[in-house]
Amino acid sequence: MKEALILLDITLVLLLAKVLEEVMARIKQPTILGDLLAGILVGPTVFGLISSVKNIESFAWVGIVILLFLGGVESSISEFKRYGVQVLAVALGGVLACFLLGFSYAYMLGYDLKTMLFLGAILTPTSVGVTLRTLMDLNLLHTKEGRVILGAAVADDIYGVIVLALVYSLVTESKVTLESLLPIMTGLATILTLTFLINKFSYKISVMLRKLKVHESAFTTVLIMGLAAATLTAFFRLSPLVGAFFIGLALSSIPGVELLRERLEFLSMIITPIFFVYAGILLNPWEIVGNNSLYEILYVGLSIVALGVIGKIIGCGFAAKLSGMDWNESLAIGLGMMPRAGVDLVIAVVGLSIGAIDQKLYFGALLLIYFSSLATPVLLKRAFKYKIGKS
Amino acid sequence: MSFFILKRDEIEKVLESRIQDILHELCPPLKIEENMPVEIFIDTVKSKGIDAAIVVGRKGKVVGIVTRLDLLKILHLEVPYRLRVLAIPRHPKVEKITIKEIMTRNPITLRETAKVHDAIDLMSKYKISHIIIVDNKGNPKAIFSRRYLLKKVFGIEEH
């Protein structure tokens, strides 16, 4: 009977996720909002249909490791050289401002250091899918602002993974001493060495891959390399997601890997939504309703939304202004960098699973994802009025 | 009746032959730079009838390959998978798009000493239509394509 329940849970999760993904795609919203909603619906928040979260937990983690690995494969090292300093500065401005705001807010609420670090980290990443879609509708994707936002979003992914790595290591260590940092340093050194070796022997690795006889074994070997790197980083007490991302980045230089990317995307399309549904299932507002008034939960949630929005507008906007853009353009860039729906959720789930954040803050993180995705198109249209008027 | 224009033993011979021996039958390598506007490539495809070009970096090393079919990417912006909401078209002005934006990076290459069946094997493994043939220093010598095979084995010619 146990296997039937596991199958039922997985089928239910995939079915609802894909149906709601389709709905979101039709209303021009990121599909991840559909996955999350599916999780909220089947989880304890609404219907409580999942027999055991454990049944989908392993799939969820494999799914997110694969997504981060794919993220690495899709970004190339040379791509970062292409985007100028301006783009890196805009992304960094947003990351710093959001981190500081989240960190300070958790301090004001009286949380301990690990929660401060995690709330700061949750607010930092950006996911600009909605922005790109809106700019395209306005026919502004190819303006200077559009290019800066697209570039900054790519840089932002890297920053997000680094922030996750740092925060995860700091929080999982009970005391930060030189000795406790040693394995983390060794882990980082190992990943860097691996990246260097893969780059150096990329041609040899590609020759080795093409000699494999079994059908699709080049793809499976690359996938196993990603999983192994993730495991290795976890062994050194770094987040496994960090290893997956950086090995993906290193492997992207191997001849032919770009051709294997399509298979990786296909696999990710099936298994990664399980992680986002899992993220929705983890939300359990009933757990906190008893101890906190509804007013308090909403107050904290909405404050997180406000900080997340203000952090990006101020951080990215000021960085854009400092790099030579005018006020209108800077505001548009700040708003464009506002949406969340990716690495932030990963950080929130990691935070919740290691007990660094509670349900109240987790609720705020999810609220930010929905609010920012729905509000960005409306606000961007207003912000770009100066441009639309001109054209 | 055979579909092939070659006899069975002749096909075996083609498969077993070394690529360096048939280099003269293959497409000469058209080398282009990654910052070249895509318009020029379109003109070359039209005027010379080529179906792929090798993209080389500053030192003449292969950095990518661009084929006719890659031109269709102009209609679509390839945003990273995780950012995708819906397909986004590229810049409406074709002259602003460069080869870099539509090429396949780090393509598969094969030494000229390899055999024809090695190339076919790679094409099926990676589901690709073109392989860059390089010498032992990594300099591109020719492009081995499905088009060549179709012509050689079945006598099918593309117009």
Q: What is the pLDDT of residue B85?
A: 46
Q: Which of the residues in chain B have pLDDT under 70?
A: 1-3, 76-95, 158-159
DSSP assignments along A47-59, one per residue: T---S-THHHHHH
DSSP assignments along A234-253, one per residue: HHTTS-HHHHHHHHHHHHTT
Q: Does B64 touch chain A (CB under 8 A)?
A: no
Q: What is the pLDDT of residue A305?
A: 96
Cβ-based neighbour number of residue A52 at 10 Å = 11
Q: What is the pLDDT of residue A104?
A: 96
Cβ-based neighbour number of residue A19 at 10 Å = 11
Of B141, A206, B12, whose CA–CA distance to A225 is shortest?
A206
Contact between A387 and A317 (Cβ < 8 Å): no
Q: Convert the pLDDT of each residue in A323-333 to its tens digit.
A: 888 999 999 99
Whole-structure pTM value: 0.84
B80/A259 Cβ within 8 A: no
Q: What is the pLDDT of residue A179?
A: 73
Q: Convert the pLDDT of each residue in A298-345 to its tens digit.
A: 999 999 999 999 999 999 999 999 988 899 999 999 999 998 887 889
Q: A110: pLDDT confidence band, cut at 50, 70 and 90?
A: very high
Name, in order, each residue with C-beta under 8 angstroms of B82's C-beta and a sequence gap of 6 or more: A67, A70, A71, A74, A127, A129, A342
> Tokens at residue B32, please?
């282009």
A260/B109 Cβ within 8 A: no
Cα distances (angstroms) measured from residue A73 to each of A160, A198, B77:
16, 13, 18
Name, in order, each residue with C-beta under 8 angstroms of A260's C-beta and a sequence gap of 6 or more: A218, A219, A222, B126
Q: Distance (Å, rounded) from C-alpha A241 to C-alpha A230?
A: 6
Pick B147 or A115 by higher pLDDT: A115
Q: Which residues of A150-182 are buried (b: 16+ CB within 10 A; e: fewer)?
A: bbbbbbbbbbbbebbbbbbbbbbbeeeeeeeee
Contact between A153 and A128 (Cβ < 8 Å): yes
Q: Tokens 């912000």 belong to which residue?
A: A383
Given a cut of 70, is residue A364 above it in pLDDT?
Answer: yes
Given a cut of 70, is residue A175 above it in pLDDT?
Answer: no
Contacts of A154 in chain B (CB under 8 A): 80
Contact between B26 and B146 (Cβ < 8 Å): no
Q: What is the pLDDT of residue B86?
A: 45
B108/A256 Cβ within 8 A: yes
Q: What is the pLDDT of residue A154?
A: 73
Contacts of A202 in chain B (CB under 8 A): 106
B85/A30 Cβ within 8 A: yes
Q: What is the mean pLDDT of chain A?
A: 87
Q: How many CA atoms lie within 13 A of A314 on its CB side?
A: 13
Q: Distance (Å, rounded) from C-alpha A58 to C-alpha A65?
A: 11
Q: What is the pLDDT of residue A299?
A: 93
Q: Distance (Å, rounded) from C-alpha A72 to C-alpha A89?
A: 21
Q: Convert the pLDDT of each residue in A83-109 to its tens digit.
A: 677 888 999 999 999 999 999 999 999
Distance linking the first and last C-alpha atoms of chain B: 25
Q: What is the pLDDT of residue A349?
A: 94
